[in-house]
Amino acid sequence: MVLRRTLASATRGRRAMSSAVGFVGLGRMGSAMAKNFADTNVPIVAYDLDPSNGEKLKAAVGDNANIVDSPEAVASEVDTVVTMLPNDKVLTAVAGEGSAFLDALKPGAVHVSCSTVSPHTSRALAASYADRGVLFAGAPVFARPDGIEKKQAYWVMGGPEAATTRAVEVRARNP
């Protein structure tokens, strides 16, 4: 009931957004999550530092995944980007102040960080993003890779209300 109300209020009065979801970080957790979205016919735009991870995702989901050559290429093609990166240092390097990724995000876009990082990192990113009209939601995922594959993960979302509302909307596209 709460999810339905949140989704209805999230979509009211907003411009049409890209239907594709971007993914940066295709290790065991990120690739399982991206595959789940692609399996429900959500188009995927994805990047991983290790090209073989992108190749594996493409082999698993075919034309429903577009593998690109950089995080900023993902950010420039979609309105929603999910990152699953290993730690604060990597997340900040990829998506922090001064990054090409942040520069490529369109106003109104949302970055949903599923990385487990410190509250300080999440708050700093949210502040940088807000200055640019971009939303940031911290959404650590509680599951092992096999739990994500079975869609048994819990997403805990935090951040500004507009960002968490959009993150809930994204999560709802992957039942």
Residues 27-85 have pLDDT tens digits of 999 999 999 999 999 999 999 999 999 999 999 999 999 999 999 999 999 999 999 99
**What's the pLDDT at 173?**
78
Q: Which of 30-39, 109-118, 149-158 has the lowest mean pLDDT?
A: 149-158
CA distance 173 to 175: 6
Is residue 3 within 8 Å of 168, Cβ to Cβ?
Answer: yes
Is residue 73 within 8 Å of 23, Cβ to Cβ?
Answer: no
Strands 141-142 and 154-155: antiparallel
